[in-house]
Amino acid sequence: MSAVPRKVLSVLKGETITPPPIWLMRQAGRYLPEYRATRARAGSFLDLCYNPELATEVTLQPIRRYGFDAAILFSDILVIPDALKRNVTFTEGHGPQMTPIQADEIDSLKGMEIFPHLDPVLAAVSGIRAGLPEETTLLGFCGAPWTVATYMIAGHGTPDQAPARLFAYRHRKAFLTLLDLLADLSAAYLVRQIKAGADAVQIFDSWAGVLGEDEFEDFCIRPVQRMIAAVKAECPATPVIAFAKGAGYLLKTYRRKTGADAIGLDWSVPLAFARELQQEGPVQGNLDPMRVVAGGAAMLEGADRILDALGHGPLIFNLGHGITPQADPDAVSQLVAHIRKDMA
């Protein structure tokens, strides 16, 4: 560990820092012209994810441009299904697609190796850490088992995850087996990222918000708790951020039940509730990405509300989900400057 303080890492360990550190989900992405140029060189999205040199380059681009306090590995949550030979592809305008898994296929995943297939991603982690300023935190990440399973079952993204929900009701034993398999593989993947140079890791449960209370407990909390326990068993000092998008009031016990060090908040989480959650530890979020697209007063007023509500406790300023391709890079510059100036 560097002797130079890494602000995001400090907040993840419970410190309050003013102004709060900032990074943005999907900060390396299509809104940046330098990303689009690198993406064109790569050939395909997955080729970019598996090219250590280019994945390192796009991860570092927003750090060079904005000086964010954290970089997050450029990859995708679906590299694990890809490593499990589910024929993952990304088609422009159609999103990710893969061969849907059937209930009687799940046992065949047992014992499958995801390495060395994912070794290029780990090489990128090492390259990114070497290229980052000492003070910049490096975040590794993966998808949560529920969210990854939704794609594996439907074979593509869906608005309400009905295929996965139906599968879980009709084939509960097979579904829970799939979640456990994904939890174990994902934990092993995160541990490898940490050993390659990640300072902390984030687990993305992007589709947590479609589940009822009992299903959230069984399909989101239980497998994420299993993951975090496995990560902490090997890397006890490494902080874990858990982001259950759309979970709402179910976040009240999410940190305690999963063992997460910090929780990410989407933009629908009321700030009064966010303050309650912050009493138990660090929070991350939660500006609406559309405010960045709108820019100007809408963006800055939204940021100020978050800073007023959460800036006096352990906070990592972020969006409530990923930055969109429509965002103006100059608006992001204004946002970063505003946060650092107004609370300095």
Catalytic machinery residues: 26, 30, 39, 76, 151
Inter-residue contact 179 to 145 (CB < 8 Å): yes
Check: CB of residue 201 under 8 Å from CB of residue 232: no
Rounded to an integer, what is the distance from CA 118 to the centroid of its chain? 17
215 burial type by CB count under 10 A (0-12 exposed, 13-18 middle, 19+ buried)? middle
Residue type, position 174, single letter: A
- C-alpha–C-alpha distance, residues 304 and 322, integer Å: 19
197 residue type, one letter: G
The set of residues, in sequence order, having a beta carbon less than 8 Å from that of 108 and lying 6+ positions away, is none
CA distance 268 to 272: 12
CA 210 to chain centre: 18
Count how many Cα atoms sit within 13 Å of the Cα of residue 14 in the half-sphere of its side chain: 6
Q: Could you tell me which of 61, 63, 58, 64 has the C-alpha nearest to residue 76?
A: 58
Task: Spell out the residues 6+ positions from residue 214 whose beta carbon is closer than 8 angstroms to its own.
Answer: none
Query: Cβ distance 181 to 188 under 8 Å?
Result: no
Distance in angstroms (rounded) separating the CA atoms of residues 176 and 11: 34
Q: How many CA atoms lie within 13 A of 41 on its CB side?
A: 12
The whole-angstrom separation of Cα 12 and Cα 30 is 28
Helix runs in 67-171, H state only: 79-83, 119-131, 145-154, 162-170
